[in-house]
Amino acid sequence: MSAYQSDEEQVEALKAWWKENGKATIAGIVLGLGGLLGWQAWTQHQKTTAEQASIQYQQLMMALDTGATASAAKQAELLISKYEKSSYAQFAALNIVRQHLKQGDSAAAQKQLAWVLEKSSEPAVKQVARLRLARIKLSEGDAAGAARLVDEAPRDAFAGEFAQLRGDIALANSDKEAARKAYRAALEDNVGNVELVQMKLDDLAAAVTY
């Protein structure tokens, strides 16, 4: 504006600018306010959804603690169907797997774990689901299916657990040398149950001496 020589010129320039850009400016303000209000509404919706999922999850855990398996199954089904993107739904699926296994329903347990593996965006949750699914497959005699899951696992804090499982798979395939190497790797990678893995190694060593 300082380039203009008089106030009148400045006023005329402002009028011309407004005529050319005023509507766009108003639209920008309106859109900006709309975006802000939309963001606030979205965050409130997310908060409400998380609170509702949390309540459902607490009810599920209470049902499991009291042995109300039918109620727990319904709560898990509701969480998974209604809040499938939430961590609560994925934790619900992981918890209800135990009930399926207790009832001898391995197919349902594997289905829930596969769902968690597909839906979860949390690496740790995916790893837990992958481990449990691989163990079930191995216990069902599907060593090849278990091995595929283990091979897909990224190397992280669960490396020791997957190494132990790799040893179990090798042992199921009568490959004692591979099992021995895998158990040693599990110990090196700080497997959770050191005593159990060491016992497996000792058993292999004892078998060689006979």
Give 24's Cβ-side CA count (13 Å radius). Answer: 5
Distance in angstroms (rounded) separating the CA atoms of residues 111 and 59? 22
According to CATH, where is 1.25.40.10 located in the chain? Answer: 122-210
pLDDT at 48 over 90: no
Categorize the per-residue pLDDT at 61 as very low, low, confident or very high, splitting at 50, 70 and 90: confident
Categorize the per-residue pLDDT at 83 as very low, low, confident or very high, splitting at 50, 70 and 90: confident
Categorize the per-residue pLDDT at 89 as very low, low, confident or very high, splitting at 50, 70 and 90: confident
- For 122-210, CATH gives 1.25.40.10
pTM, full prediction: 0.69
Percent above pLDDT 70 for the chain: 68
38 C-beta neighbours (distance < 10 Å), count? 11
pLDDT value for 195 = 95
Quick one: how far is CA 210 from the chain centroid? 46
Q: Which of 1-10, 63-72, 93-102, 119-128 has the least mean pLDDT? A: 1-10
- What is the token pair recorded at 16? 């011309």
84 C-beta neighbours (distance < 10 Å), count? 14
Q: Which CATH architecture has domain 49-121?
A: Alpha Horseshoe (1.25)
pLDDT value for 19 = 63
